[in-house]
Amino acid sequence: MIDKLILKYLDDTINSEELSQLYKLLEKPKNQIIFKNYIRYNHDINLTLTPVNLQKDFKIIKTRIADKKTSKNLISPLLKYAALILFIIGLGYFYHQIKPFDSQADYANVSEHNYITIEKQNGDIVKFIVGESRKITNLSGDVIGEIEDGQLILKDNSSTKANAFHALTVPYGHKFKLTLADGTRIHLNSGSSLRYPLVFNKKERKVNLEGEAFFKVAPNEDAPFIVESKGLFSKVLGTEFNYSAYPDDKSTDVVLIEGSVGVGLKTNLKGENSYQILAPSQKATRFLSENKIEVEEVDTKKYIAWTQGSLVFEDEDMKSILRVLQRRYNVEVINKYPDLENYRFSGVFKKVGVEEVLKTIQSHTPFNFNITNNKVTIEPLTTQ
């Protein structure tokens, strides 16, 4: 509802009744976040974390959007600019335009031997690089899928044994797409691994995830789709959701985009009424230190921005940000400035290199860093 009203206001097609609805909706803090994030993601325009002033802010936003549209006509469409905002809570914000982005090589330092791999149930490993085309076979030599254009598409193959599993692993610095035999589409983030059956049974469709993935599950009322990870599981019939379960993160998160999904503790997987049902725009979190699930309303754009090549941080500590940078850019981070981990930042980075990210943070919180090969070393400023 609020997305449509914002669009109509910016297009000058909103009527007085709808305008009153929009004013009423924006009295709630969570809707103000949606409003600000909508502008940020769709127009590269960023607002401070102060309350929304509709009359003032909308005039500024519409002026900036008009200016941006005019300036885009003067720039080659081949150039993709990255815009970002850096907040330090209580200290305001910073807006910066980044240099043109040329290719994936600009933001992922990947060794030529850092392959995406598929491990078959007998231990055989198939290695390939992004952009490579090849056929994937089962142990009998039957073709069960093809890799092309950065994704693996599996086909329904009844000759494959029902208990045959493959494990797809995506290294740091890469992302990869997979379409399962039932039509379910999965987008795996950097440093992630998915174990999946080549043929689903008739009662359920179960996969195991370590890392992060976005799922668009093919509907099947007779066979629920189950994702298992460390301490948590999700159970759906057909829906879209993001699932994050990195082993070095302090929590496992499931964010529902569309449809409905049941989320529960892994120890209760086979129990009756063992899971909670999420509604769209809700996030379920299971912290490793607690044996319970917390559910909250969220703006989902943040959690799926990675599928579009963006990094989004909202009031996150630097320790967590450095973990994300290691996965995204395939770098080793050596932090010799422990106090830096206590700082919290928010920002949006669109297809830029690790050096640009660190330089932007560095411009607000001084520290030294150097990058040698795939190693980033961070140190405090030396005193004179």
Classify residue 287: in a domain, yes or no: no
Same domain, 115 and 226: yes
> Within 10 A of 327 (CB to CB), how many other CB atoms are there?
22
CB of 351 within 8 A of CB of 307? no
DSSP strand pairing (251-258 vs 240-245): antiparallel
Same domain, 223 and 130: yes
Strand order in the sheet with 310-317: 93-97, 83-87, 344-350, 310-317
Q: Of the ranges 187-196, 258-267, 269-278, which is most confident? A: 187-196
Domain boundary among 238, 253, 268: 253
272 falls in which pLDDT band (50, 70, 90)? low
Classify residue 163: in a domain, yes or no: yes
Q: Which one is predicted more confidently, 254 or 4?
A: 254
Model pLDDT, residue 81: 29
Same domain, 358 and 246: no
Classify residue 120: in a domain, yes or no: yes
Model pLDDT, residue 71: 45
Q: Domain of 243: which CATH number?
A: 2.60.120.1440
Q: 337-348, pLDDT tens digit by residue?
A: 999 998 988 889
Residue-number span of the structural domain to which 241 is assigned: 108-253
Same domain, 313 and 190: no
CB of 189 within 8 A of CB of 327? yes
Model pLDDT, residue 269: 56
* Structural Rg of the chain based on CA atoms: 23
Distances (CA, A) of 112 to 105, 170, 171, 330, 331: 12, 14, 12, 12, 14
Q: Of the ranges 15-19, 35-39, 318-322, which is most confident? A: 318-322
Domain boundary among 210, 229, 253: 253
Same domain, 97 and 155: no
Model pLDDT, residue 73: 43
Same domain, 162 and 237: yes
16 falls in which pLDDT band (50, 70, 90)? confident
Q: Is 345 exposed, middle or buried (0-12, 13-18, 19+ CB in 10 A)?
A: buried
Same domain, 119 and 239: yes
Q: How far is CA 36 from the centre of its chain?
A: 19
Classify residue 266: in a domain, yes or no: no
Q: 152-161, pLDDT tens digit by residue?
A: 999 877 666 6
Q: 46-96, pLDDT tens digit by residue?
A: 444 344 455 555 555 555 555 544 444 433 333 322 322 333 222 233 333
Classify residue 302: in a domain, yes or no: no
Q: Domain of 318: which CATH number?
A: 3.55.50.30
Residues 297-309: what's their mean pLDDT? 93
Q: Which one is predicted more confidently, 168 or 66?
A: 168
Residue 15 has pLDDT above 60, yes or no: yes
Same domain, 214 and 175: yes
Domain boundary among 27, 52, 74: 74
Helical axes 2-10 vs 16-25, angle rounded to 10°: 130
Same domain, 138 and 246: yes
Same domain, 324 and 232: no
Share above pLDDT 70 across residues of the chain, in percent, rounded to a whole number:
73
Residues 162-178: what's their mean pLDDT? 90
Model pLDDT, residue 100: 30
Same domain, 124 and 196: yes
Q: How many domains does the chain have?
A: 3
Classify residue 314: in a domain, yes or no: yes
Classify residue 278: in a domain, yes or no: no
Q: How far is CA 175 from the centre of its chain?
A: 10
Model pLDDT, residue 106: 36
How far separated are the first and last CA of the chain, in Å rounded?
57
Q: 124-159, pLDDT tens digit by residue?
A: 999 988 777 889 988 888 888 999 888 999 987 766
Question: By mean pLDDT, which of 82-86, 187-191, 317-321 is the weakest?
Answer: 82-86
Q: Report the mean per-residue pLDDT for the chain.
A: 78
Question: By mean pLDDT, which of 11-20, 49-58, 224-233, 360-369 is the weakest?
Answer: 49-58
**Count H helices, E strands: the chain?**
7, 25
Local structure of residue 101 (DSSP, 8 states): B
Same domain, 100 and 120: no
Classify residue 282: in a domain, yes or no: no
Model pLDDT, residue 7: 67
199 falls in which pLDDT band (50, 70, 90)? confident
Model pLDDT, residue 94: 31
